[in-house]
Structure formats: C-alpha cells, structure tokens
Amino acid sequence: MEDKRLHRTLAFAVIDSLKLIFNEDRYASKVVEKVLKRDKRWGSRDRKFIAETIYEMVRWKRLYNEIAGTKGHYTAENLWKNFAVFAVLKGYTLPDWKQFIDTPVRKIKGRFDELLKERKFKESIPDWLDELGVSELGEKWDDEIHALNQQAKVILRVNTLKTNKIKLQKDLLGEGVETMILKDYPNALELVVRKNVFTTDAFKNGHFEVQDASSQLVAPYLDVKGGMRVIDACAGAGGKSLHLASLMDNKGQIIALDIYANKLKELKRRAKRNGVHNVETRPILNSKTIKKLRGSADRVLIDAPCSGLGVLKRNPDAKWKLQPEFLENIKKIQAEILEDYSKLVKVGGKLVYATCSIFPSENEEQVKKFLKNHKEYKFVSESKVSPYQTGYDGFYMALLERIA
C-alpha cells in the first residue's frame, strides 16, 4: 500500500525546486536532475516522490494556483499553499507543520470540483493556448490536451546492433527492471514500473536508448537501406541518427548536422556506447556546410524545431514557457529549413519532414506550402500520431520524393 504521509525533507526539496522553476525560469528537467543528487540517503521511493511531485505541480500549476487563490505570485508562503492543494487532492494526510495551519481542506475539494467545468483550469493551460488548440484541432483538442496531461511512460528502443528485444527483456529482468513488449513497435519495450534505467549494465553497454514509442516511428519512415548516404539535418543529440544507424546495420554513411556543436558532442558519446560507427557529425558553421552537400543525399531527415506540444507529457513546463510569438517565429524557421535542406536530396531520393507537434499549421500546412512552390518534389505519404489514440507522444511525419 502507498505511504500517504508527507516527509519534511522531501517536501522542502520540492518547494526549493519549484522556487527555481516558477521564479527563476529554470527548466524542470534540469532542476529535478540536480535536486535528486542533493541527499545520498534518499532511497528510490523518496526520489520518485520528489521527481513526480515537482512534475505534477508544474503540470497543474494554473489549476492549483486558482484553487489556492495565490494569484500567480510564487512566494514561499504561496508555494506551500499550492503544495497543500496538491497534498489534499492526492489524499495525503496533512501533518501538523506550521505551513499547513488553517488549510481549508473542504474548500479545496469544492473549488476543484467547480473548476473542472472549465477546460483551461481542468487541463491547466494558458488562455491563448486553449484558444489556439480549438482553432487548430476543433473538437479533437479536448481529448488531445487531456492525453498530454498524463504522465509519460518510459519506453526503451532496443539497439539491434548489439542485442534483440527478447534478450534485452531477459537481461533487464535480471537487473530488476520489468518490461513489456509493444506490438506495432518492432524495437520498443515499455517499463512496467518507472525506474532509473541509466544505472543498468544493459544501458552502460549500449543495449538500449530511452526513446518514446512515437519517436521510434520517425527513422523507419525514411525508408533507409544499408549503403545509403543519409543526412540527419537537425540531429541534436542524435536519438534518430542512432536509430537510423541500427536500421542501416552500420553500413553506409549518416551525416548528422546541427547548429549546436555541444549536442553533436553528446551524439558522438552515445554513438560510441551504441557501437555505431557510420555516423559523422558536422556542426553547421555557415551556409557552406550545407552547400557542400547539395544534391548528394539518398535520404534527408528534417526533424524540425517546433512548439513541442506533442511532448508536453514529458515537458510540462513548456505550457508556461511557450509564447504565441515563439510559435509564429518557429513556423518561419520550419519553412526556411524545408527550403534549405530539401536541396540536399538527389533526384530519386526521399525526404522526411517531422515534428513533435500536433498542430496542422506546423505540419501538413507547412508541407502543402512547400509542395506548392517545389514541383521537383512529390508527396508520398504522411502519418499523424495522436497522443489521445496511442497514449504516447504526438508526432507528425511526411515522406516526400524528389522527382526532378
């Protein structure tokens, strides 16, 4: 049975973390990573409570703030009021700490029931995002935003260069990590219970990467074969480059491009652990980097920068960091990237444009605009991955072929 008592040191760790996230605009993932290293005596249950509570309070920031009546000012006193709302709604027994004196338990529950009638509070989102969601997705927005407010599952991608799904499942079980096989995802395993998998021998030996099930659909969509020249145009830390390498059985060449050299450094490190040796990293220093590769690629993957709305499950603070002007700007960047990198594909080659967004304006509308101005390309297929239908991240992929 779950322990429903609150422990002082853990509660304070949460409050300290929220100060940094809400008042100093720090990224929740970085804050969680740092706080978990604070006390060596914390066991796995303590760490789980801290991490999950921080994410919960970030995810439901607007709802809890509305119930607590704290007007969006995150002083220490107000953070405790928000924490009290969390504790009451989650069924914790409130201890007799001074921070909880006069907590209006019945009022909290009543206010919660009342606010569930209005989506912007029920799903804890800014007004502008709610309005945009409705204009982009209509009635579907209701289901999608609800799905995106659930906790993300932990999915592993089996590195087929070193092992297979059945063997990895058995090896992980030997290390106390229970997984289940996902049908329709050839190389995915889902954790039955959340655990820190990065300390396992299987991870250290490069037998898997942590990668959401939806994200695992992108590399296969590119239709690669060993021996091809493939360009991963916005490679980042290279999750999809590594997947492409395993699909190509380490044969051929993958050129991983990115404007951030530090991300490519991380890709090199991961490639070594994965036993991948057909990936070459090239930081984009200027337009020459791109020009040199013109018309040379069999396949180009554009995993474009986007609003990231499809991955809100794992980045709940994006709801509060995202601004309407950023969204307008990112659409211009997407169009420019498609324009520039489409030139790298040789005639007869293929291109995938992908985002982790669920909004048509970042997805199919971008592809339509591009095709209208580029008769040398033809549309092959597209795939829209819905968080509501799959339970995983939201993604979009379009496959285009260069015909002239």
Asked if the model's pLDDT at residue 4 lies above 90, the reply is: no
CA-based nearest residue to 222, from 300, 286, 146: 300
CA-based nearest residue to 51, from 181, 154, 182, 125: 154
User: Using one digit for the tens of pLDDT, what is the confidence trace for 149-168?
Assistant: 999 999 999 999 999 999 99
Asked if the model's pLDDT at residue 229 lies above 70, the reply is: yes
Q: What is the pLDDT of residue 289?
A: 93
CA-based nearest residue to 403, from 370, 380, 372: 380
pTM of the model: 0.96
Provide the annotated active-site residues: 356
Mean per-residue pLDDT, 178-207: 96
Mean per-residue pLDDT, 224-250: 98
325 pLDDT tier (thresholds 50, 70, 90): very high
> DSSP assignment, residue 193?
S
What percentage of the chain reaches a pLDDT higher than 70?
A: 99
Full set of structural domains in the chain with CATH: 8-124 (no CATH), 155-210 (3.30.70.1170), 215-402 (3.40.50.150)
Query: What is the spatial distance between Cα 105 and Cα 121, in angstroms, rounded to a whole number?
Result: 19
User: Using one digit for the tens of pLDDT, what is the confidence trace for 118-153?
Assistant: 999 999 999 999 999 999 999 999 999 999 999 999
User: Using one digit for the tens of pLDDT, what is the confidence trace for 336-373?
Assistant: 999 999 999 999 999 999 999 999 999 999 999 999 99
221 vs 218, 234, 284, 321, 382, CA distance in Å?
Answer: 5, 16, 25, 31, 9
Are 355 and 337 in contact, with CB atoms under 8 Å apart? no
Mean per-residue pLDDT, 27-39: 95
Judge residue 189's burial from the number of C-beta atoms within 10 Å of its C-beta, 0-12 exposed, 13-18 middle, 19 or more buried.
buried
DSSP structure string for 328-397:
HHHHHHHHHHHHHHGGGEEEEEEEEEEES---GGGTHHHHHHHHHH-TTEEEEEEEEE-HHHHSS--EEE
CA-based nearest residue to 155, from 220, 204, 195, 212: 212
Q: Which helix (H) or strand (E) holds 262?
A: helix 261-274
Mean per-residue pLDDT, 221-244: 98
Are 386 and 355 in contact, with CB atoms under 8 Å apart? no
Give the pair of three-digit tokens for residue 155.
């999915």
User: Using one digit for the tens of pLDDT, what is the confidence trace for 263-283?
Assistant: 999 999 999 999 999 999 999
User: Using one digit for the tens of pLDDT, what is the confidence trace for 53-81?
Assistant: 999 999 999 999 999 999 989 999 999 99
Asked if the model's pLDDT at residue 1 lies above 60, the reply is: no
Q: What is the pLDDT of residue 225?
A: 97
Asked if the model's pLDDT at residue 2 lies above 80, the reply is: no
